[in-house]
């Protein structure tokens, strides 16, 4: 909300996500580094400052120690958020889309994948971001032993798109199944996350060709601008938004709300199961 979404869409996403969590009898806690302090439950003036995006750095898991030592404000990536969840004992985390293997350059791979392999957290998302190499990302998750369950789908969704043709080995329509699978996952001593993927809402999802064309144009612009490192994902998402006439932004906000609602339902099932 302080890096990926523009103002005021980030404020709307915060309102909708927290409302969805509370509607399902769970407690929302926004993750961040606040003046160097790992925080689960960003609120008040600090929240307002983050939503204004005033001097907020992008912080991955590798950056947490530096941010703490320097007293920095940091918007946490999925990798950093998972690290904070693990430290705080938070079992369920909702996000939009995870990072993964980039289309170009081929060696560019998100730290999210490795962190998923070692963080015991139910992670609810709409798959990996559409700007990525989705088949390669799914293969890397498999190599890292990350368990994946599709909710309402038997395919790995494409963030903005509902279908990708990438088949999953486990799927369900019941949050109780996910809670039970996570408890079994932990009893068996498995160290990593349980990645729960659900498609974006059908009312806001984009068709595959629209996304393919927009991503191709965005990648060309990134090459021309020589964008590298952590700036790549925000640059590409902003470019895709332009090339879809804002439709991708609407899909992003809608899937965030949907993911928050599902995460809350899973959290309640975990609490009731004990």
CATH of residue 195: 3.40.1790.10
Rounded Cα–Cα distance for residues 231 and 221 (Å) = 13
| 3 within some domain | no
Cis-peptide, bond into residue 151, ω within 30° of zero = no
pLDDT at 199: 98
Residues lower than pLDDT 50 in the chain:
none
Positive/negative CA dihedral, 152, 157, 163, 168: negative
Question: 243 to each of 12, 40, 215, 236, 238, how far by Cα in Å?
Answer: 22, 35, 8, 10, 9
Q: Identify the domain containing residue 189 by its residue range.
A: 9-273
* Per-residue pLDDT, 233: 83
Contact (Cβ atoms closer than 8 angstroms) between residue 47 and residue 1: no
* Residue 152 in domain: yes
The whole-number pLDDT of residue 230 equals 76
Residue 192 CA, chain-centre distance (Å), reads: 16
Cis preceding-peptide flag for 8 (omega within 30 of 0):
yes
Residue 4 is assigned to a structural domain of this protein: no
Is the distance from CB of 194 to CB of 186 less than 8 angstroms?
Answer: no
What are the tens digits of pLDDT across the range 145-176? 999 999 999 999 999 999 999 999 999 999 99
How confident is the model at residue 234, as a pLDDT?
85
pLDDT of amino acid 55: 86
Residue in 179, 206, 203, 164 with CA at minimum distance from that of residue 264: 179
- Is residue 59, in this structure, part of any structural domain at all? yes
- The structural domain count of the chain equals 1
Give the pLDDT of residue 111: 96
CB under 8 Å to 140, separation ≥6 — which residues? 100, 101, 109, 113
């Amino acid at each position: 909300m302080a890096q990926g979404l523009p103002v005021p869409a980030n404020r709307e996403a915060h309102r909708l996500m927290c409302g969805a969590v509370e509607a399902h009898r769970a407690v929302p806690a926004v993750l961040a580094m606040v003046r160097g302090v790992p925080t689960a439950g960003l609120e008040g003036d600090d929240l307002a400052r983050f939503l204004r995006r005033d001097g907020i750095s992008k912080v991955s898991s590798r950056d947490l120690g530096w941010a703490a030592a320097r007293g920095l404000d940091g918007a946490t990536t999925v990798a950093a958020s998972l690290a904070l969840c693990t430290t705080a004992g938070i079992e369920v985390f909702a996000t939009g889309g995870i990072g993964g293997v980039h289309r170009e350059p081929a060696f560019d791979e998100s730290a999210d994948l490795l962190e998923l392999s070692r963080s015991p957290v139910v992670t609810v998302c709409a798959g990996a971001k559409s700007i990525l190499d989705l088949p390669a990302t799914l293969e890397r998750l498999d190599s890292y032993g990350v368990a994946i369950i599709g909710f309402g789908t038997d395919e790995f969704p494409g963030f903005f798109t509902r279908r990708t043709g990438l088949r999953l080995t486990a799927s369900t329509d019941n949050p109780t199944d996910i809670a039970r699978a996570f408890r079994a996952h932990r009893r068996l001593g498995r160290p990593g996350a349980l990645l729960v993927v659900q498609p974006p809402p059908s009312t806001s999802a984009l068709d595959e060709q629209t996304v393919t064309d927009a991503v191709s144009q965005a990648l060309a612009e990134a090459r021309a601008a020589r964008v590298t490192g952590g700036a790549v994902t925000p640059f590409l998402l902003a470019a895709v938004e332009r090339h879809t006439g804002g439709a991708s932004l609407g899909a992003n906000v809608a899937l965030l709300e949907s993911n928050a609602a599902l995460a809350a339902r899973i959290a309640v099932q975990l609490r009731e199961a004990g």
